[in-house]
Structure 1
Amino acid sequence: MVDIAKQVEQILTAVFNINKRLKGRVDMTMALGLSDIKAQMGGLVYRGFVTGNGFKRLGDTLRYLQAIEKRLEKLAVDPHRDRAQMLKVENVQQAWQQWINKLPPARREDEDVKEVRWMIEELRVSYFAQQLGTPYPISSVNRQFFQSFFNVRKP
Structure 2
Amino acid sequence: MRTPFLMNLLLTFVWLALSGNFSLANTLFGFLMSFAIMWIISLNSENRKYFRIAPKTIGFVFFFLAELTKANIQVAIEVMTPKSTMKPGIVRYPLEAKSDFEITLLANLISLTPGTCSLDVSTDRKVLYIHAMYIGDKEKFIRDIQNGFERRLLAILR
Fold in common (TM above 0.5): no
The structure where helix makes up a greater share of residues is 1
The structure where strand makes up a greater share of residues is 2
Normalising by structure 2, what TM-score?
A: 0.28
User: Looking at both structures, which has the greater relative contact order when contacts are Cα pairs under 8 Å and sequence separation is at least 6?
Assistant: 1
Normalising by structure 1, what TM-score?
A: 0.28
